[in-house]
Structure 1
Amino acid sequence: MIAALKFVHLAGISCWAAGLIALALLMLVFGTTNDEDDYVEYRLFTHVTYISFVTPAALIAIASGTALCFAAGIFEPWLLLKLAFVAGMVLVHTWLGHLIQRSGEERRSKWFTAPFAGLALVPLICAVIGLALIKPQAATLSDLLPAQLLSVREGAAP
């Protein structure tokens, strides 16, 4: 059971990450075409890919990861850090969805932000995969995070 959940989770994460990077590259390369037929084809391809491939892959990855946590009883501090990076992937996912939706409403949307979405994805994906592979042996969350993130600043209101 756990091996099957791991397989489904890994496949979901892989498809989700690859789809997000592909969408960012598609938006960068083909989103500014001047040919109307190419733009309609691009628009249809990005919309269908986002709706029928990338979003279901994200849902499968998140659902199988949640089921895997409960099935294997994994509630370690590194998992919280991994989930923070997954939340970042979700934010980039919605950002790309917004850009795709805007491309149907106005021809020249803010395409210059699509490469930033792709650049933001690379460290997030590496962090998620790295934390899942390494599984740092930390006793508490304070062992994973720098002390500056866990302490109160001088002069800060309580």
Structure 2
Amino acid sequence: MSVILLKFLHIIAIAAWSGGLLCLPFLYLQRRRLGGNALHRLHNFTRFFYVSLVSPAAFLAIASGMLLIFLQATFEPWFSVKLALVAAMVIIHVMSGLVILRLFEPGQAYPWWRFVAVTGLTTGVIAAILVMVLGKPEWHAATWIAAFFAPGALGEMLGFSAWSR
């Protein structure tokens, strides 16, 4: 039962994190039209949204996902690809925080091409994660890769034997 509740928490956190990352570029785009008090309100809201909602959702998604790894022992090739895609999502998250720090300085703007690029990239990463998780494609590693990661393979490659000591 605890695994089911943890999966539920993980799915909710992923949905909130993904939705937040998709909303942030829309907020950045509003920067170019505003000035004065309205600009300060947008800046405060954007920082609140990132720090109080999106970042905790990211933390919960990653923490609950790590717990699920150990509870379910998921060690498949598709899962490694999913983890790489989650790492890409973390990079997008960090870059979004850096944008917030610089965007609200005087004379800054968020161009349309960056909005389209970031929104497209974020959507693509989220979609790829969904494809990996829901599709669970079966990939078979080449035999040399499996032999390379076999227990004791490093010692054999270096010419050491556990019994030669």
TM-score by length of 1: 0.82
How far did 1:25 drift? Answer: 1.0
Detail structure 1 runs of 4+ shifted over 3 Å in the superposition: none
CA distance in 1, matches of 2:85, 2:106: 32
Contact 2:89–2:122 (8 Å) recurs in 1? yes
Q: Which runs of 5+ in 1 are unaligned?
A: 143-158
How far did 1:132 drift? Answer: 0.7
How far did 1:137 drift? Answer: 2.4
CA distance in 2, matches of 1:110, 1:91: 21
In the other structure, the counterpart of 1:111 is 110
Contact 2:28–2:103 (8 Å) recurs in 1? no
Q: Which runs of 5+ in 2 are unaligned?
A: 143-165
Alpha-carbon RMSD:
1.4
CA distance in 2, matches of 1:110, 1:96: 14
Render the CA deviation track for 1:98-140: whole Å, top value 9, x for unaligned. Answer: 0101134x12335123442222101000011111111112333
CA distance in 1, matches of 2:62, 2:116: 25
* 3-state SS of 1:109 partner: coil
Contact 2:28–2:110 (8 Å) recurs in 1? yes
- Please tell me whether Structure 1 or Structure 2 has the larger radius of gyration of its CA atoms: 2
TM-score by length of 2: 0.79
How far did 1:34 drift? Answer: 3.5
CA distance in 2, matches of 1:66, 1:94: 19
Contact 2:7–2:68 (8 Å) recurs in 1? yes
Contact 1:13–1:57 (8 Å) recurs in 2? yes
Give the total of aligned pairs.
139
